[in-house]
A = this chain, B = another copy of it.
Amino acid sequence: MSCGERGEVEEQVLKAIRPSRFQVRLLNRFYELVKSKLEACIEASGFKALIEAQGSFAKNTLLSDKWEVDVFILFEGVSDEWIHNESLKLVTRCLSGLPVIRRYAQHPYVTVVMNGLEADVVPTIRLEKPRPHAMGVERTPFHTRYVKSKLTPCLADEVRLLKSFLKGIGAYGAETHVGGFSGYLAELLVIKYGSFRGVLRAAARWNPEKRVYIDVEGVGDREYLEEKYKDSVVIVVDPVDPGRNAAAAVRLDKLALFILAARLYLEKPRKEFFHVYSGEQRGALKYRVDPSRLGVVLYKGALYSHPPESVWGRLYRSARLLAGELERMGFKVGRYWFHTDESSYGVIVVEVEEAELPPLEASRGPPAWTPRRSERFILKRLGEGMPVWVRDDGTLAAWKPRKVRSLGEAVAKASRSLPAPPGASVSYAGTLEGAGEPWRGIISREYLKSFPSWIASP
């Protein structure tokens, strides 16, 4: 089957990312198993519900390394409160006998894990059309139906390419810690531009300084949406809910990343852009991870019992907070990074210019004309035996002996006020140098891989 304008790289990548027949058959069977168990039990319990596959599995846009199905239970005649507070009891009971992890993000759901296969089972209300201010899961069935009605098998492969590309560059996912493109958004873009390359060609011309506005079905009220989504850098009208921006989660940095990657890829298509090949640093880099310049906080705990996005979200927040705190302490921060295996550990890393700050700090005080504040500053600094002067802008300044000079000490101190991922606590805080094996090796390798290897000389 030939599908339009694919190059050699894309054909090769597709072979790697398209699920095998075996995989599809296995997932289908798993889905049927869960479905039949649920159907029988729910009916027997006196409830009326429709069981439907959703998400990538249902839309035929699944990637080969995902052994997952989304199973929705669309209840009739129940309230929101019942879904939120009671439904999981029924669902858990109905799935008894299967290994189940109970989870709760914005919406309650359970995950069935069996022989490496996963099914997220989500109870929700059956609706005729999405309600205004609907929660994400309410919209899912409508998204699935819309996409299924639009995607040919050819287009489904184009979606796979785009999703793999977005993953490869680190811009896949609408979760806070990513701020990138959801799977549904990738599907909408392929539907709009007709192919993976078509999307890249459009993206290469986007300019975030003017807002990007895309309306696949021509159903949006641009003025209304631009007002409602003032802070969004991209607006993509949701065909099943025209008052909604399907790209509201996309942040400036990830948009910029995608535009850059699109441009570089079109200039020179390479496999490193796609997620199955990304992360392999080429030999040309002289840069080596210097463990003395990496501040590290390592968390350990039962992360598996919490939704991965809550874990990632917390790590993202902590990493940013630590970077900010180190900046305030006088370190020049180059980059921050965070990672988790979604199971037993999470780690945040901040790379700074130097491991040890100089003994004196040029400290800035209040304006010299403010009576109480300036006297307090003067008293403090003189008490430390340091001279005070007035800067060009009329504020006080003084040399000040630094209390915390070493990166290790600074990270240890800052780590005490950082939010830990749910279910975890600090296992180590200091420089990577002091982390000890095997963590030093693991973190060092993962960190090096996190530099975008696809940014290469064209």
Which residues of A are interface residues toward B (Cβ below 8 A)?
Answer: 206-209, 251-253, 255-257, 259-260, 263, 281, 284-287, 293, 332-335, 353-354, 357-358, 360-362, 367-369, 371, 374-375, 378-379, 382-397, 399, 451-452, 455-458
Contact partner, A389, options B209, B251, B335, B367, Cβ 8 Å: B335
Contact at A208–B394, with CB atoms within 8 Å?
Answer: yes
Contact at B367–A256, with CB atoms within 8 Å?
Answer: yes
Q: Which residue of chain B is the closest to A369 with respect to CB atoms?
A: B259
Contact at A257–B368, with CB atoms within 8 Å?
Answer: yes
Contact partner, A452, options B257, B263, B287, B388, Cβ 8 Å: B388
9 shortest interchain CB distances as A-B pairs:
A286-B385, A256-B394, A334-B362, A387-B451, A256-B368, A354-B358, A260-B368, A259-B369, A252-B394
With A368-B256, A371-B263 in contact, do A457 and B378 touch (Cβ < 8 Å)?
A: yes
Contact partner, A335, options B362, B382, B452, Cβ 8 Å: B362
With A358-B354, A375-B458 in contact, do A260 and B208 touch (Cβ < 8 Å)?
A: no
Cα distance A456–B386 in the bound complex, in angstroms: 11
Contact at A252–B382, with CB atoms within 8 Å?
Answer: no
Instruction: Give the Cβ gap from A136 to chain B, nearest Cβ, in Å.
Output: 24
* A284 neighbours in B (Cβ, 8 Å): 382, 385
With A208-B369, A362-B334 in contact, do A285 and B374 touch (Cβ < 8 Å)?
A: no
Contact at B358–A394, with CB atoms within 8 Å?
Answer: no
Cα distance A228–B229 in the bound complex, in angstroms: 44
* A334 neighbours in B (Cβ, 8 Å): 360, 362, 397, 399
What are 17 A-B pairs at a CB distance below 8 A?
A208-B394, A252-B393, A252-B394, A253-B394, A259-B369, A260-B368, A260-B390, A284-B385, A293-B358, A334-B362, A335-B362, A353-B357, A379-B457, A387-B451, A388-B451, A388-B455, A390-B452
Cα distance A259–B395 in the bound complex, in angstroms: 12
In this complex, which of A284, A399, A458 has the most chain B Cβ atoms within 10 angstroms of its Cβ? Answer: A399
Cα distance A281–B382 in the bound complex, in angstroms: 12
* A388 neighbours in B (Cβ, 8 Å): 451-452, 455
Q: A263-B375, A285-B385, A387-B452 are in contact. List 13 more A-B contacts (CB 8 A).
A: A253-B391, A253-B392, A255-B369, A255-B394, A256-B395, A260-B390, A285-B386, A286-B384, A287-B386, A334-B362, A334-B399, A354-B358, A379-B458
Cα distance A238–B189 in the bound complex, in angstroms: 70
Instruction: Give the Cβ gap from A167 to chain B, nearest Cβ, in Å.
Output: 16
With A378-B457, A457-B379 in contact, do A256 and B390 touch (Cβ < 8 Å)?
A: yes
Cα distance A208–B425 in the bound complex, in angstroms: 50
* A293 neighbours in B (Cβ, 8 Å): 358
With A256-B367, A457-B382 in contact, do A358 and B353 touch (Cβ < 8 Å)?
A: yes
Q: Which residue of chain B is the closest to A204 with respect to CB atoms?
A: B371
* A263 neighbours in B (Cβ, 8 Å): 371, 375
With A334-B399, A362-B333, A458-B375 in contact, do A369 and B260 touch (Cβ < 8 Å)?
A: yes
* A374 neighbours in B (Cβ, 8 Å): 260
Contact at A390–B253, with CB atoms within 8 Å?
Answer: yes
* A457 neighbours in B (Cβ, 8 Å): 378-379, 382-383
With A286-B384, A457-B382 in contact, do A369 and B333 touch (Cβ < 8 Å)?
A: no
* A392 neighbours in B (Cβ, 8 Å): 251-253
Contact at A455–B378, with CB atoms within 8 Å?
Answer: yes
Cα distance A394–B378 in the bound complex, in angstroms: 40
